[in-house]
Amino acid sequence: MLARRASSLLLVLAACAPAAAQSSARDFYQGKQLQFTTMGTPGGGYDTHMRTIGAHLERRLGVRLIPINESGAGGLIAMNRLQIARPDGLSVLLIGGEAIAASQLFEEPGVNFDINKQVWLARVSAESKVVLLGPKSPYRSVGEMIASDKPVLWAGSGKTDGNTDFSAILSYATGMKSKMIIGYKGTGGMTLAMETGEVDGRVISDESANLFGSNTGMRVITTLARRRAPQFPDAPTIF
């Protein structure tokens, strides 16, 4: 989670700091409005995290939370908006760290921020990545994907968005023929593309993949980690 100025650091410290610090945080936030932004669309993994955390913040700090979903470009739009927000401690962003770091590292067009100049408050979650395929994808294993003469179609919102970057790494490491289809508007657009068969799948976190029920036809075929994901014990690992 990122915030504009050090005063927002109290947002996290209020939950674990001594009583005096908690009192100061409540005094600062009491009766105010906090803009809590995340990448992705309503109902997605980031949105679920944001609203879960937000409920605790409202209760502990007496602040009114304004949830904002800023989809598109793998979080670049959300980060750019944070960059120009008023430095009053009332703008907080929940975002995927890998994608934002990669965007700046590779000097992607549209990067108008410097992650070294932001205030990093906390790591909310560290999740394993999994390969999630849509119901119309013909593949049942990574082996089938590697053996395919046709390119595997991966969905993403940008070139370094946490979907396409991990898909690209997986494809390069295994020699898999792949094509990245980018430009989707957040989770909703990519999920629809998977449901209609426009793409085969995406690489997402195990927690996000777990939001899809078995009746959706979505399936996890592998976990990109050394250990199997507890949510998908039958999916083998590839590291």
3 state SS for 134-191: CCCCCCCCHHHHHHCCCCEEEECCCCCCCCHHHHHHHHHHHCCCEEEECCCCHHHHHH
Q: Give pLDDT tens digits for 17-29.
A: 344 445 577 788 8
C-alpha to C-alpha distance for 75 and 40, rounded to whole angstroms:
8
Which of the listed ranges 133-142, 151-160, 164-173 does the model predict with the highest average pLDDT?
133-142
Q: How confident is the model at residue 6 (pLDDT cuts 50, 70, 90)?
A: very low
Q: Which amino acid is at 112?
A: N
Q: Give pLDDT tens digits for 39-84.
A: 878 887 788 888 988 898 899 888 999 998 887 766 788 888 887 7
Q: Enter the tokens of residue 103.
A: 């965007």
pLDDT of 102 strictly over 90: no
Q: Enter the tokens of residue 210.
A: 């777990």
pLDDT of 217 strictly over 80: yes
Instruction: Please give the mean pLDDT across all residues of the chain.
Output: 83
Degrees, nearest 5: CA angle 109-114-117: 170
Q: Give pLDDT tens digits for 156-214.
A: 887 777 778 889 999 999 999 999 999 888 788 999 999 999 999 999 888 889 988 88
3-class DSSP state of 107: coil
As a dihedral over the C-alpha atoms of residue 136, residue 138, residue 140, residue 146, rounded to 10 degrees, the angle is -130
How far does CA 188 lie from the centroid of its chain?
13
Cβ atoms of 67 and 52 closer than 8 Å = no
Beta bridge partners of 120: 2
In this predicted structure, what is the pLDDT of residue 39?
81
First to last CA, the chain: 27
Q: Which amino acid is at 208?
A: S
3-class DSSP state of 71: coil
* 13, 164, 176 from 179: Cα distances, Å: 43, 9, 10
